[in-house]
Amino acid sequence: MSSTKKDTRTRILTATWQLMEQRRGQDVHMRTIAEAAGISRQAVYLHFASRTELITATINYVDEIKGLDERLDQIKTATTAIGVLEASVEVWGNYIPEIYGLAKAMLMTRDTDEDMATAWNESMGCLRDACQATMEALSHESILVSEWTVNKAVDALFMMLSINNWEQLTIECGWSQSAYIEWMKTISKRTFVEIT
C-alpha cells in the first residue's frame, strides 16, 4: 500500500473513531465520515467496501493504537489457571475505560443499526476468547467448580466482564478502577475456582 493510500486510510479510520465517540454512534454514515476526513464519499469506498467493513476496521485500528495484542500476551503467558483468570480480568478491566466512548456508541446503536451490531459482535470475540481460555485452563487444572460446564462458565465470565457491568460499578456506583479490578478478581475466583 502506498504512503498516500495508507495516510488516507488512517484519516478515514481516525475520523470514524472520532465521529463514533462524538455522536455516540448516531448518524455516522459514509458521507459524514468522508466529510470529516476531508475526502469524497467515493474515496471512502475505495478503501472500505461497506460501512460494516469500515466500522470493523476502525475497531481493529483502535485496538492496534491501544496495544491490545501486547496486553493479551499477559493472558497467554500466565503460568497457572488462576493466573490466566486474574490476567483476563486485569487486561479487559483496564481496557474498557480506554475504549468506553467507542464501545458506548456501538452499544447505543446496535439494536437499530445492523452494521453496528455486526461489528460489535465481531469485536466481542476477543473477550469471549479470553473467557474461553480462562475456563479451559481452570478445567485443565481440575479447579473449575464442579457445578459449572466450561461453556456456561465462559458465558458467565463474559457477562461479568461486560462493559455494562463495568459502567454500572465504576460510573453509577463510583468504584475506583483499582477497586473494580480487585473485586472482579475476587468475585471471579470465588465463583469459578474450586476451593481445596
Does one domain contain both 46 and 87? Answer: no
Query: Which residues face 144 on adjacent strands?
Result: 193
pLDDT at 89: 96
Pair (96, 173) in one structural domain = yes
Alpha-carbon torsion (15, 20, 26, 30), positive or negative? positive
- Whether 145 and 167 map to the same domain: the answer is yes
Q: Domain of 42: which CATH number?
A: 1.10.10
pTM of the model: 0.82
Structural domain boundaries, residue 9: 3-63
Domains: count for the chain: 2
pLDDT tens-digit series, residues 168-191: 999 999 999 999 999 999 999 999
105 with 180, same domain: the answer is yes
pLDDT above 60: residue 2: no
Residue with cell 488516507: 8
pLDDT in tens, 118-177: 888 888 888 999 999 999 999 999 999 999 999 999 999 999 999 999 999 999 999 999
Q: Are residues 32 and 101 in the same domain?
A: no
Tell which residue, 183, 188, 85, has the closest CA to residue 138. Answer: 85
Same domain? For 22 and 59 the reply is: yes
Q: Are residues 47 and 100 in the same domain?
A: no
Task: Identify which has the larger pLDDT, 20 or 81.
Answer: 81
Same domain, 138 and 188: yes
pLDDT digits (tens, 9 = 90+) for 92-124: 999 998 888 888 878 887 888 888 788 888 888
Burial of 139 (0-12, 13-18, 19+ CB in 10 A): middle
Read off the pLDDT of each residue in 33-57 and give the average, rounded to a whole number: 90
Based on the domain organization, do 57 and 75 belong to the same domain?
Answer: no
What whole-number distance in Å separates Cα of residue 130 and Cα of residue 133? 5
CATH code, domain carrying 74: 1.10.357
The reply to whether 24 and 8 lie within a common domain is yes
* 13 vs 5, residue with greater confidence: 13
